[in-house]
Structure 1
Amino acid sequence: MDDEKYFTLSGDNMPGNAGFYSSNTANTPWNVKLKSKQKFEPKVLVWLALSSKGISVPYIGTTHGPAIDSNLYVQKCLPKLLAFIRRYHADNNYIFWPDLASSHYPKTTITWLNEQNIHFVPKQVNPPNLPKAKPIEDFWSILADKVYHGGWLATTEQQLINRIKQ
C-alpha cells in the first residue's frame, strides 16, 4: 500500500492544534483569537509505500496546491514504488493497494502501473475509508507527533523537510 501526507509549516493540520484554549478569553490577544490562515499554505508532501516486509524510500517535496496530481505521482512516487516492489516482493507475491486519491486512478497512472506489470486493486473494488485496515495511517500519526512534538513550528519549507527527515 502507499499513501501520502501533507505537513504544514504551522502544524494546524494536527488534531488539537487548530484552536486555542484559555481560562480567561477576555485576556486572550486578538491575534490568537482571530488568527488568519492562508488558503493554500505551503506544505511538504511525504509519500511512501509499505508492506509487512519493509518501507520504501520516501518522496519528500514541497507542494502549493490542494493535493498531489497524477503527473507528480507517476514521475516521483511510482518509480519509488517500483524499486520497493523489486526489492521486497521480487517473488511477485503481492497486490498493490492504493487509496482512492484522485491521482491514483487516472488513465496515466493506470497505464504506468500496467506497463510496469504492477498488480493493483482496481478502483471499482477498492473500499473507501478504511483507516483501521491500513497500518500506514498509524505511521503518519506517529510521524506527525514527532514532527510537531512540543509545539514545534517551521518557518521555512526546508526546516520542515529537515525535521521530517530526522
Structure 2
Amino acid sequence: MWIVALALGSAAQLPFEVTRQDSTYQPWGEVMPIFVNNLAVGLALYSGVISFGAISIAMTFFAGIYIGSIVGLAVDAWGLGGAFDAFWPFLLFEVAGFMAFTFGGLLPVFRVGRLLQSSSAPSSRTVSGGADIAYRAAAQVAASLPFAGVGAVLLAGGAVLEVAGGLPR
C-alpha cells in the first residue's frame, strides 16, 4: 500500500517547492518540532485501531502521495543522485516509522477478521460469544501498541538525521 501511494505521489507532480538542504545549517532546536509533526502523522496512521482500519488506509494514501510528490519533484530538480543524497538518511527512518504505525493500526483488523472467520460455532453468535470477540479485539489493540512504539523510535531517529543532514535556509 505504501509503495503504491509513494508511486502515485511521485507521478502526481503536486506543486510543492523543493529547496536544497544546507549541510552546515543544523538547527538542533528543530528536532522536536519535526518529530512532533511526524508523530502526529504516525498517530493518525495508527488510529485505524479505532476505525477498523479506515483511517489508516486513507492516511497511508495521503501521506504517501505527499512524500512521493516531494521526492518526485526533488528528482526532477536535482536528479536521482541529488534527491537520494538529500533524503535517504532520514526518509528511510521516517517511512519505516510510518509503516510501523500503519501496520499497528491495521493489525487488529486482520486479527478480528480471523477471529470472526474462525468462530463458526452457533454459541459464538450469542451475547457471551460477542463479549469474547470484543475482549479478544481489545487484546489485539493492546498487541498492536509495540508497533506504535517502534514507529515513534524510528521517527525520532529520522528527525535527528533530518537536522544532522542540514535543513534548507
- TM-score, normalised with respect to structure 2: 0.25
> As a proportion of its length, which structure holds more strand?
1
Radius of gyration: which is bigger?
2
More helix by share: 2
Normalized against structure 1, the TM-score is what? 0.25
